[in-house]
A and B are shown apart, each in its own frame.
Chain A
Amino acid sequence: MKNKGEVKFWNGSIAIAEGAIAAGCRFFAGYPITPASDIAEYMALRLPQEDGVFIQMEDEIASIAALIGASWGGAKAMTSTSGPGFSLMQENIGLAAATETPLVIAEVQRAGPSTGMPTLVGQGDVMQARWGSHGEYETIVISPSSPQESFDLIIRAFNLAELYRVPVIFLTDECVAHMYERVVVPPKEEIEVVERLKPNVPPEEYMPFKPINDIAPMATAGMGYRVHVTGLTHNEKGYPMTTSPEVQEWMVRHICDKIRRNEPKIRDIEEYRMEDAEIAIVAFGITARAAKAAVKMARRHGIKAGLIRLKTIWPFPEPYFDNIADSVKKILVAEINYGQVKLEVERSVHGKTSVELIPKFGGEPHKPFEIYEKIKEVKNGN
């Protein structure tokens, strides 16, 4: 547990908002939705104090459009939402991906589909966070398990957004967002904050979408570069090339590969008791806490269980699981859905080990003993 810094008693939502401000977020546009409204309310209170702008938009479509505009205006921008609002944002998540616009979406998952269970937890938006908009693109998806991590990882979310010029989805859940815990806020000078790369060439030489080491420097409005930005298939100059399969291939490869190539650098996984584990539990968000308790129970009963906690879900750490599959006999994936991360784990282990789901359908998190019972069952079956 961290000790150096100021100790706060925050819930996950406040930690997200304060972390965002610490990361340099100075623009927030959002629309009320349960259980994510706390973040917007807190930002409305805090941002003007920090010389930032808060605006409540007419819907989630407008919210993310305003974020993209603000980001091209030079600001670090964030919104918060939950499932139904996240669905509405998918259109412009595609625009942000295509135009390589840094921004952060805090998605507080509730149970779906549709209006679902507005006040209760779910983890059913994992695939949507990756595949929600049409066409081919990549996003980065981060999942915190505590208020402390909500603070720490939202800063990382902004840093990754700036570094890779990509929309980052902060995929938390109702439980973590509403849970109050001790949060240690490190001194300002100890917080690493990344700023987007800016061009240093004269305007006539500048190519807004020509990558240098994977990422193109970004000239925002008013810098004198007179950039053209479009959601149409575009070349390095940003000009539409809507009938060129070659430019389409270049662009899609670029917006995907800049993330795929850097998966090992983006990857953030916590292992617990994995050193000699025969049964691995994979979990994220609130579920990882129940899973950790279940691993402890199992260990007390002499079962070699371990936890793999995903703090980044996308890009999926495929090589990591391919490797893990060589050393464990069984992988159990606990998530509050009917099997999403499970599919990815299954794909990544290439049949080397069996993968089983411990589902919950939303409305409540897993209880530790439910996961433990499954571990026991697997152990006895061995």
Chain B
Amino acid sequence: MEINATQHPMDKYLRADRIPHIWCPGCGLGIVLNAFLHAIEELKIDLDKLAVVSGIGCTGRIAGYINTDSYHTTHGRAIPFATGLKLANPEMKVVVISGDGDLFAIGGNHFIHAARRNIDITVIGVNNYNYGMTGGQLGPTTPLGARTTTTPYGNIEHPFNLCHVAHAAGAVYVARWTVLHAVRLKNSIKEALNKKGFSFIEVIAACPTTFGRRNKMPDALDEMRFYREHSVIKHGIDPAEANIEMGKEIVVGKFVDIEKPTFNDAVEELKRKVKKK
């Protein structure tokens, strides 16, 4: 058998001419991308029928590296863009991959309403506890007490528990993993992609450059070590019980997996009912 050593079996999923990527050494986003691509491969999803939509930020750049129809939108607007795309073109599998600030601060309103409507999309929210691209400012997920460039004395705001928000807003699938749980993350992405309705996966990702080094985890491996020592898998737990606090355990697992009619199905049914003959 001839082996082409210049080609990686996953190359076909990437835009080779866009590599190298912009992410820092030790960033968790490579693992998220890897898990996502392996999930697509194992599910044998037709790349021509997959659209990846992202907003702005480090995670927002993921769309640009994946070899599908990919849309890098404005800050916070990935979900409404994806909503329009999916409704106009229901054959597409539509995935939003974006960061915590994009999805839950500037885009928070869109997130809750898409979940409430049960739009048939998958949202992968990468939570690195801060705004990485702009230099490490406070995010809606920054734990109390954590230091960022805009909380030089420590964060005095309560953060969102993203899985709790997703659950409360009506998501039919909610899970949380860290980038240490690469295989579980991949399996969870597969489940979410197969799920009809609004599915949400939170991925806790290391950001040594702008978050870790201000919070006593300056080395890329420090955060991974922290995840290993502090993650606890609790499937089925009420997400309200899974708050994230500085230095405390991180509850991960699949929290929600329910069935509910989707907005997309309701639209199709309505069309059938009232269509002019």
Which residues of A are in contact with B by a Cβ distance under 8 Å? Answer: 26-27, 29, 48-53, 55, 57-59, 61-63, 65-75, 77, 91-92, 94-95, 220-232, 239-240
Chain A residue numbers with a CB within 8 Å of B83 are 29, 55, 57, 62, 65-66, 69
Contact check, A73 vs B89: say whether CB atoms are below 8 A apart.
yes
Contact check, A74 vs B89: say whether CB atoms are below 8 A apart.
yes
Q: How far is the CA of A318 from the CA of B6 in the complex (A)?
A: 58
List 18 A-B pairs, Cβ < 8 Å.
A48-B271, A53-B88, A55-B263, A57-B113, A68-B73, A69-B82, A69-B83, A69-B86, A71-B88, A72-B71, A74-B89, A91-B77, A221-B51, A222-B89, A223-B48, A224-B48, A228-B15, A228-B70
Chain B residue numbers with a CB within 8 Å of A239 are 17-18, 64
Asked whether any CB of chain A lies closer than 8 Å to the CB of B191, the reply is no
Chain A residue numbers with a CB within 8 Å of B47 are 226
Q: How far is the CA of A29 from the CA of B77 in the complex (A)?
A: 14
Cβ contacts B239-277/A at 8 Å (1 or 0 each): 000000000000000000000000100010011011110
Contact check, A49 vs B275: say whether CB atoms are below 8 A apart.
yes
Extra pairs beyond A51-B275, A72-B69, A95-B77 (10, CB < 8 Å): A48-B270, A49-B275, A65-B80, A65-B84, A69-B71, A73-B89, A228-B72, A230-B64, A231-B74, A239-B17
User: What residue of chain A has the Cβ atom nearest to residue B51's Cβ?
Assistant: A221
Contacts A53-B267, A70-B84 known; A221 to B89 CB distance under 8 Å?
yes
Q: How many residues of B contact A (CB 8 A)?
A: 44
Contact check, B69 vs A227: say whether CB atoms are below 8 A apart.
yes
From A29, A226, A228, A230, contact of B84 by CB (8 A): A29
Asked whether any CB of chain A lies closer than 8 Å to the CB of B2, the reply is no
What is the interface of chain B mostly: helix, strand, loop, or mixed?
helix
User: What residue of chain A has the Cβ atom nearest to residue B91's Cβ?
Assistant: A222
Contact check, B80 vs A62: say whether CB atoms are below 8 A apart.
yes
Give the shortest distance, in Å, between B52 (CB) and chain A (any CB).
Answer: 10
From B48, B72, B84, contact of A222 by CB (8 A): B48
Give the shortest distance, in Å, between A90 (CB) and chain B (any CB).
Answer: 11
Contact check, B84 vs A68: say whether CB atoms are below 8 A apart.
yes
Asked whether any CB of chain A lies closer than 8 Å to the CB of B215, the reply is no
Asked whether any CB of chain A lies closer than 8 Å to the CB of B33, the reply is no
Contact check, A73 vs B276: say whether CB atoms are below 8 A apart.
no
Asked whether any CB of chain A lies closer than 8 Å to the CB of B155, the reply is no
User: What residue of chain A has the Cβ atom nearest to residue B69's Cβ?
Assistant: A221
Asked whether any CB of chain A lies closer than 8 Å to the CB of B149, the reply is no
Chain A residue numbers with a CB within 8 Å of B67 are 226
Asked whether any CB of chain A lies closer than 8 Å to the CB of B92, the reply is yes
Q: How far is the CA of A73 from the CA of B49 in the complex (A)?
A: 11
B17, B84, B274, most chain A CB atoms within 10 A:
B84
Contact check, A53 vs B87: say whether CB atoms are below 8 A apart.
yes
Cβ contacts B55-73/A at 8 Å (1 or 0 each): 0000000011001111111
Q: How far is the CA of A118 from the CA of B79 in the complex (A)?
A: 30
Chain A residue numbers with a CB within 8 Å of B201 are none
Give the shortest distance, in Å, between B173 (CB) and chain A (any CB).
Answer: 21
Chain A residue numbers with a CB within 8 Å of B76 are 61
Contact check, B275 vs A69: say whether CB atoms are below 8 A apart.
no
Give the shortest distance, in Å, between A113 (CB) and chain B (any CB).
Answer: 24
Q: How far is the CA of A62 from the CA of B275 in the complex (A)?
A: 27
Contact check, A228 vs B64: say whether CB atoms are below 8 A apart.
yes
Give the shortest distance, in Å, between A74 (CB) and chain B (any CB).
Answer: 6
Q: How far is the CA of A17 from the CA of B217 in the complex (A)?
A: 57
Contact check, A49 vs B88: say whether CB atoms are below 8 A apart.
no
Chain B residue numbers with a CB within 8 Å of A229 are 70-72
Give the shortest distance, in Å, between B133 (CB) and chain A (any CB).
Answer: 12
Contact check, B84 vs A73: say whether CB atoms are below 8 A apart.
yes
